[in-house]
Amino acid sequence: MPKNSVFVNSFESVCCAGESSETLFEAICAQQSGIKIFDEFIQNKPIALGKIEKPFSIEAILELTCKKVLTQSGLENFADTLLVVGSSVGGMQITEGIFLKEHAYTNIDPKLHVIDAIAHILSSKFSFKDDISFSTACTSSANALGYAYEMIAKGVYENVLVVGFDTLSLTTIRGFDALGVLSSRPCQPFDVNRDGMNVAEGIAVLLLQNKPHEKSIELLGVGYSSDAHHMAHPSPDGAGALFAMQQALKCANVEPHAVGYVNAHGTGTSANDASEACAIESLFGSNAYVSSTKSITGHTLGAAGALEAIICVMALQKQIVPPNTHLVEPENKTLDLVKVAKPHTFRYALSNSLAFGGNNTSLLFGLLQ
């Protein structure tokens, strides 16, 4: 079966650092973090989080974001479009809000709690041909993009809408606190003085299609791995992340030396950054520019893969390498960890998403030939 090409033709995002993808990329280049300090989530402990300042519900923002992508696309509707959602907590915040207010389960709608709650909400606002939801922790929307890639490449669908979505669920925040990985300040990925991550909420919506537009960026390859080293910690040598990156390049038939930019998962935790840096060094040495943008956006969990895919797409369109913010003293001395936004001519960008259980996904994007 001949393989169809897959193009990112329309996209939009909302997170703590920007109410649109354009304002987000400007904030990243200007190194203006959206992370703020909050003391109401954990008793007697201030923590740094990425919260969307919203006058109305995040579900309403999600609907508006999808409408913007529909307008950009030129499609009349999503009737012939597959919806693929990636989320780590689904509608948990909705049910938390009800329970914490009423201290009872009576008014909780199960359909608005489970992982496909986001697809359920969107399907009530738009008409999709079908939908599927992924929940694989921090690789959720990266895996959603991978599934979309396969559906278009195999000719099953011509249009696939990928939605990455996660909110600041109290259960999630306290869960990461129990793991001892939350920072009380904006995170410092890859820095020797890093002390943890910043949980954040985010929305990222991308329309993938089998035909290009004028400003399209191609999704060229997807790589997966599962090193199963530990339930929460990655393999110290980065074997899982390395294999996922190698598979993405193999899928696209692209050599490592051709990749100009790697958007690292880079959470700011000790274990993740050391492992991922080892993996990137093993594959690229100092030949690719590397940065984590989570010091600006926070870690949007299930939405991170889709949000950082948008960042890679915009980096290619604008030919600008996003910088590492708050990076003072890099732990890894080999990687080219850029400290300021860098104009650069490059054709390929790789995005890493790494999750609990050694679940790893890499996505390779490229300019049209």
First CA to last CA distance, the chain: 23
- Name the token pair of 327: 């990076």
**Cα distance between residue 274 and residue 113, in whole Å:** 35
Catalytic residues: 138, 265, 299
Torsion of CA 338, 356, 192, 237, to 10 degrees: -90
**Cα distance between residue 19 and residue 242, in whole Å:** 33
Torsion of CA 178, 183, 14, 274, to 10 degrees: -90
**Cα distance between residue 46 and residue 44, in whole Å:** 7
Kind of pairing between the strands at 336-337 and 342-343: unpaired
DSSP 214: T
The answer to whether 203 and 305 are in contact (CB under 8 A) is: no
**Cα distance between residue 337 and residue 326, in whole Å:** 12
